[in-house]
Chain A
Amino acid sequence: MKPRLRGSGFGFRERLFAARLLGLLLLAISYQLPAISFAQNASPPPDLSSRVFDIARELRCPVCQGESAAESNADISVEMRRIIAEQLAQGKSPAQIKAYFVQRYGNWILYDPPRSGATLWVWLSPLIGLGVLALLLWRYQGLVKKRARASVDGVSEAEIARLEAELNQQNPKP
């Protein structure tokens, strides 16, 4: 087994701080970039901060099969990332940005269906399935118990006495 590398000097907190700092730096740069290199388009470049990709990852690429708007390089996904970047720059929240796409494409565009309304069953169905399975098992166990009891109940007292006598005869008590 390989020894795990420890004690690099930076703990989780420090690394989180560094990541946040980098994020802030990128965000700060992203505000400046459009004016510098994208004067022609007057909108931010499509791929700038990880926040853009975090949101894009939760949205489907409409023209792809099984790819999110973060992974795909289709024109529409590039444009979607550009829209996300623009709206982030305008100070919109991820929920507002996702709502923008839901307004145009419906809930289909979301990778996680909302936990309400018609899509609630998607989240509840595993629980319902487990419940049904538990109920079936419980009833089956009851049935098995009942059968076992019925087979004992069906034997008469005389028969039991005869069987016990026979057993005693075969294995005499010491």
Chain B
Amino acid sequence: MQRFLWPLVIVLAVGGLFLWGLRRPDPTALPSVLVGKPAPAFTLRVLPPYQAQWGQEITLAKLIGKQPILINFWASWCIPCRQEGPTLSAFWQQNRDKVLVLGINTQEKNLSDALNFIQQYNLGFPSVEDNGRMYINYGTYGVPETFLLDTSGKVLLRHVGPVSPADLEAMLKQVGG
């Protein structure tokens, strides 16, 4: 019996390691270092369709304190953004008194592509134009990415990939909406 004990322990340990490796959520997912910290500040140009309501520029600091903010990095060339855009827009229409959805159009080659995208998916929430640095300041590693900020401007979570209505509901619950 003693002879088989150690081989058995080794086999079980290696097997356990494999099982753990296979069941890990996503090994390529990168946790954001911003969670729990104040969101990087910005003042960015508002995209033309929203300028009438939101002015030429949006400064994040001026929005903090009023509502929780959902910052969404998107681009017209990004396929998952096409899936996410209408979901986000519908969510904002329903919950605009509880949370502000703020889009940051990033890594866009032509402004007209972004404008077509807004028109095509009828995006109601305001979007600003990335100055080419904000997606690095937020430590993004793809598009779309969504950051949830509480009313003090602290980052509560970062969501990588398109958000589903269920994700958005969970975020709303997290900020007490």
Contacts and interface: CB of A to CB of B under 8 A. Distances in A.
B133 interface: yes
Nearest to A41: B132
14 contacts: A62-B139, A62-B140, A63-B141, A63-B142, A75-B107, A76-B107, A76-B136, A79-B132, A83-B133, A83-B136, A103-B33, A104-B136, A104-B138, A108-B30
Nearest to A101: B136
Given A76-B107, A83-B133, 14 more contacts: A62-B30, A62-B141, A62-B142, A75-B107, A79-B132, A79-B133, A79-B136, A83-B136, A103-B33, A104-B33, A104-B138, A105-B141, A106-B31, A106-B33
B135 A76 contact: yes
B168 to A, nearest CB: 25
Contacts of B141: 62-63, 105
Interface residues of A, number: 12
Chain A binding surface SS class: helix
Interface in B127-145: 132-133, 135-142
B33 A105 contact: yes
Nearest to A106: B33
A20 to B, nearest CB: 31
Interface of B: 30-31, 33-34, 107, 132-133, 135-142
A106 B132 contact: no
Contacts of B142: 62-63
B157 to A, nearest CB: 15
A98 to B, nearest CB: 14
A131 to B, nearest CB: 19
A79 B107 CA distance: 10
A106 B138 CA distance: 11
Nearest to A109: B139
A79 B136 CA distance: 9
Interface in A79-95: 79-80, 83
